[in-house]
């Protein structure tokens, strides 16, 4: 198939380009990029792309899949189709499935199962009238568990998992045994795989569900102090400084954490960091609704935290924006705020909402946002994203910033609907992904 995208706005963080071009795509490759392309064959499909944005495919650092074990929340099929619908061409699943991804046999099984997941996912998108978004599904990465059954006491066979093809190692939950963390960092040095940690002191978190501050008092919800994150982060940074193994810091959510990471990077520590998309869009004021999909872990920050995270992403202290897509069934989420399990979906919502509230308001440039969602997450995984130039594979996302749509069951590919934007009209929609 040959396609000519005419007058499309090309946003390419690799080449630092934000300009209008014609782009010719044939047989899965970019054939030509020029201000005007007229020499085309008769079978070329010409698309008027005025007002549309073309960028490298988005990359998600970490999210949750229900399968295996919780298929009522999400299957691999629905997960991957939701990712394609959201503009993602590479996605990474955390190992907290059931069973946990802690052995090579399960890694091989899931990689094989991924190859046969092109079946039905959600409701088909856009009321069943949505044309196929992609001729292929996104590349699926699997994080390998650091500890056996995520019990936090015994390491997995890290070398065997690395040989099996995991993208890196994380438990996706706090590891509070610092002696074990030190051993993990020592063992992982020669393997050359990313390792990601979530800094959170569960003793300080206790039974809290909301970031400590005036809004927590006003809403009558148990608070979580900032120090629950920052003390764990400081300890992690000390270990990295001592051992030297590169580490990715997950789920950064406080202004003080941004300061600590900035200081650590200035000192030359080999670290990268990410926050989640919802922590960039909402703060504790949103919890006024008591919507259970606003119960997150880590919790939404105070306004000063959100401002610091946004600045951190813009200047590169926070390298990447992760989606941390966390599907739950209706029955699991229809509880009181404090009782509902923490987490929300996001694969199909992140780009439209981030663009609407960060780019259209001119707080972020389009390049800054796209870099944090594509090239930088890939680099955190030890990968590269190709520039939008001739002879490169067409791993691309075509986005319409002005298209409106309603977030409802029939417009989503994911099986779950745990999002505070359910029932709302959004502006911005992915038109197509090339995986």
Question: C-alpha angle 63/66/70, rounded to 5°?
Answer: 155
Question: C-alpha angle 323/305/185, rounded to 5°?
Answer: 60
Query: Nearest-CA neighbor of 211 among 334, 278, 311, 305?
Result: 305
Q: Write the DSSP string, 228-267.
A: HHHHHHHHHHHHHHHH---EEEP----HHHHHHHHHHHHT
Q: How far apart are CA 204 and CA 235, in angstroms?
A: 14
Q: How far apart are CA 368 and CA 159, in angstroms?
A: 36
How far CA 156 is from CA of 7, 64, 354, 415, in Å, comes to 51, 20, 37, 31
Number of CB atoms found within 10 A of residue 16's CB: 10
Q: Are 56 and 14 in contact (CB under 8 A)?
A: yes
Number of CB atoms found within 10 A of residue 221's CB: 20
Q: How far apart are CA 328 and CA 341, in angstroms?
A: 8
Assess whether 60 carries a catalytic annotation.
no
DSSP character at residue 200:
-
Query: What six digits make up the tokens of 284?
Result: 């504790």
Instruction: Name 321's bridge partners.
Output: 275
Catalytic residues: 324
């Amino acid at each position: 198939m040959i396609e000519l995208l005419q007058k499309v706005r090309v946003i390419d963080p690799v080449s630092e380009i934000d300009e209008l071009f014609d782009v010719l795509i044939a047989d899965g490759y970019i054939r030509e990029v020029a201000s005007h392309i007229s020499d085309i064959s008769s079978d070329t499909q010409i698309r008027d792309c005025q007002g549309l944005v073309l960028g490298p495919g988005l990359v998600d650092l970490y999210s949750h899949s229900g399968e295996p074990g919780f298929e009522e929340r999400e299957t691999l099929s629905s997960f991957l189709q939701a990712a394609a619908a959201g503009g993602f061409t590479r996605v990474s699943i955390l190992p907290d499935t059931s069973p946990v991804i802690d052995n090579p046999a399960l890694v091989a099984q899931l990689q094989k199962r991924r190859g046969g997941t092109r079946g039905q996912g959600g409701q088909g998108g856009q009321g069943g009238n949505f044309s196929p978004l992609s001729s292929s599904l996104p590349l699926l990465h699997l994080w390998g568990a650091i500890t056996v059954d995520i019990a936090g006491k015994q390491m997995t066979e890290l070398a065997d998992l690395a040989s099996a093809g995991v993208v890196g190692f994380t438990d996706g939950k706090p590891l509070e045994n610092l002696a074990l963390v030190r051993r993990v960092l020592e063992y992982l040095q020669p393997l050359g795989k990313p390792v990601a940690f979530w800094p959170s002191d569960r003793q300080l978190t206790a039974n809290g569900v909301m970031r400590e501050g005036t809004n927590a008092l006003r809403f009558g919800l148990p608070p979580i102090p900032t120090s629950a994150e920052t003390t764990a982060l400081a300890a992690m940074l000390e270990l990295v400084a001592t051992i030297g193994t590169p580490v990715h810091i997950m789920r950064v959510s406080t202004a003080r954490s941004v300061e600590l990471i900035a200081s650590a990077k200035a000192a030359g520590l080999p670290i990268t960091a990410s926050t989640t998309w919802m922590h960039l869009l909402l703060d504790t004021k949103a919890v006024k609704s008591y919507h259970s999909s606003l119960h997150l872990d880590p919790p939404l920050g105070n306004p000063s935290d959100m401002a610091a995270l946004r600045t951190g992403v813009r200047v590169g202290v926070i390298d990447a924006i992760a989606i941390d897509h966390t599907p739950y069934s209706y029955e699991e989420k229809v509880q009181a705020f404090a009782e509902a399990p923490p987490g929300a979906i996001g694969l199909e919502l992140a780009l439209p909402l981030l663009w609407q509230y960060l780019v259209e308001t001119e707080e972020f440039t389009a390049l800054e946002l796209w870099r944090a969602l594509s090239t930088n997450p890939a680099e955190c995984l030890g990968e590269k994203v190709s520039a939008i130039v001739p002879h490169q594979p067409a791993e691309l996302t075509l986005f319409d910033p002005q298209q409106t749509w309603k977030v409802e069951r029939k417009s989503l590919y994911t099986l779950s609907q745990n999002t505070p934007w359910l029932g709302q009209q959004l502006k911005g929609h992915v038109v197509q992904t090339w995986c």
